[in-house]
Structure 1
Amino acid sequence: MGYHSGGASYVLSRESLRRFYEAYNDPASNCTKDGSSEDIEIAKCLRTKGVYPGKALDKENRELFHPLPFSHHFMGFFPNWLVQRAENPLQSVSR
């Protein structure tokens, strides 16, 4: 399973947000309140309520959200953590 970085922001449906609120306030859910990487913890918390990330791609299968500055993509510089965990293949700017 790949990883969707929270650095690019989040888009949640109302139902997903409702489930997150429900899980976050449930003492039995193991949702971490602080002290960890929030994007990973939000994903874990949502998973307890059956919410899983989906792909955010345009019509040409290009990423819609980017956790790095544009210059990184333009130059083709991707940190190891992103290369190893990216859900979708990384691409530098080619057009």
Structure 2
Amino acid sequence: MGWLWAIILGFILGLLAKAILPGKQHLPLWLATICGIGGAVIGNWIAAGFGVEETPGFDWSRHAFQLVAAIILVALGDRAWAATRGKKQRV
């Protein structure tokens, strides 16, 4: 996967993660994209650990790992972003 595909996948994963998380996220789009790229990398690593990084057809399990990792990173990134900006969040 080239750097352009990494950015595109990170953008999509970041947007999906922001849409899945409840409430309003204060995370800017560029940071959500970086968290999505990180989620893709971590998800690939976890999928390799489970032995499902390369399957015939569409890799549903690999993409599920990527999405879960992106959701976790976006949630953590949003908390860190809000803390640095002084915005209060509801738990």
| Superposition TM-score, scaled by structure 2 size | 0.29
Larger radius of gyration: 1
**Which of the pair is proportionally richer in helix?**
2
